[in-house]
């Protein structure tokens, strides 16, 4: 398929002070591989081509690749490490022999998290009486539409670094939110410790994506790396009730390579959602209803909004 037809939108800010068109403040992709790249673009929000945008942000890319064959190879062998090489013939023996760095060996969350506390308030014209509730949101790589999803519901969001200490916090909040993020959840030991503290204080807690894995680890559960990660906006998830799957299925947006081990959940915790394709755990919930998390993205962008109601579910218990 052609990549770049729509071009790239501007980096203008919205009324809350963060990007209007992007889901992150920085570009985190390390390289782009495509079959066919279009340098001609057409969209009313576009200000540059994908090529120009990549050059500006110094992102390497390569086109003319048989991405269908590459996809088949990944489908057969699972996730693989790789590198983009301009000309294999000029690669030095030393460089060729050097092993490819596995990003999952690093604490990627520490690289993408904010470094200071940032507070976002809902618009006064929408909520003249002030915020409905307030939450602390652990930024493990938080998407901007998660912030928008809370703010449009009248919730004040205190966005904090991944290692923010709750015990000494002076912030006023009604609940704890753990965001999405990259890499191996077991590298985020400091975030896990803070979730444990919040649970011990009976603070309502909601996690998304990586937040689902971190909550599982905080309660004594386990996670593992998937052979095939879930990537896409059409992942079907079955809702569970009373320990059994129901006939209700929602279509979700997902982007993760690790999953929660459903056999290691402690007493009082239940499977909440499972993937209809491979049966992996897509959500967990405590029997009290005050602590829960999902592996998918209810905020979408991109993707379906079937699970958007989960923000309201959490708001009800605050």
- What gap in Å lies between CA 142 and CA 114, rounded to an integer? 9
C-alpha distances out from residue 74 to 62, 79, 81, 130, 296, Å = 18, 6, 10, 50, 22
As given in the structure block, the two tokens for residue 41 are 């673009």
Active site residues: 209, 297, 299
Which whole-number Å values give the CA distances from 44 to 5, 6, 7, 113, 302, in the listed order? 12, 9, 10, 32, 19
Angle at 281 between CA 280 and CA 286, to 5 degrees: 165
Q: In sequence order, what are the residues at sequence separation of 6 or more whose Cβ sits closer than 8 angstroms to the Cβ of residue 244?
A: none
Distances (CA, A) of 271 to 56, 159, 192, 245: 45, 28, 20, 9
Number of residues in the chain: 318
Residue pair 157/123 in contact by the 8 Å Cβ criterion:
no
| 71 neighbors 93 (Cβ within 8 angstroms) | no
């Amino acid at each position: 398929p052609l990549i770049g037809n729509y071009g790239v939108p501007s980096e203008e800010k919205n009324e809350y002070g963060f990007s209007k068109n992007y889901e992150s403040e920085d570009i985190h992709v390390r390289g782009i591989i495509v079959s066919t790249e279009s340098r001609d673009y057409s969209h009313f929000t576009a200000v540059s081509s994908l090529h120009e945008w990549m050059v500006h942000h110094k992102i390497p890319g390569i086109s003319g690749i048989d991405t269908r064959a590459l996809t088949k190879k990944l489908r057969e062998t699972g996730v693989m490490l790789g590198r983009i090489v301009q000309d294999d013939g000029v690669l030095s023996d030393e460089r060729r022999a050097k092993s490819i760095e596995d990003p999952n060996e690093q604490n990627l969350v520490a690289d993408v998290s904010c470094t200071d506390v940032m507070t976002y308030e809902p618009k006064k014209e929408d909520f003249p009486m002030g915020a409905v509730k307030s939450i602390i949101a652990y930024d493990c790589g938080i998407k901007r539409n998660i912030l928008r999803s809370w703010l449009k519901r009248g919730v004040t969001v205190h966005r904090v670094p991944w290692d923010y200490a709750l015990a000494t916090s002076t912030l006023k909040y009604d609940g704890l939110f753990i965001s999405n993020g990259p890499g191996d959840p077991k590298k985020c030991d400091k975030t896990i410790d803070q979730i444990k503290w919040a649970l011990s204080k009976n603070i309502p807690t909601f996690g998304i994506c990586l937040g689902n894995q971190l909550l599982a680890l905080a309660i004594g559960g386990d996670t593992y790396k998937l052979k095939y990660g879930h990537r896409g906006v059409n992942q079907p998830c079955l809702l569970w009730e009373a320990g059994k799957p129901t006939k209700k299925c929602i279509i979700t947006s997902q982007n993760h390579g690790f999953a929660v081990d459903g056999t290691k959940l402690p007493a009082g915790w239940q499977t909440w959602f499972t993937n209809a394709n491979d049966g992996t755990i897509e959500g967990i919930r405590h029997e009290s209803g005050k602590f829960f998390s999902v592996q998918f993205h209810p905020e979408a962008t991109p993707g379906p909004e079937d699970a958007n109601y989960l923000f309201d579910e959490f708001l009800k218990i605050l």
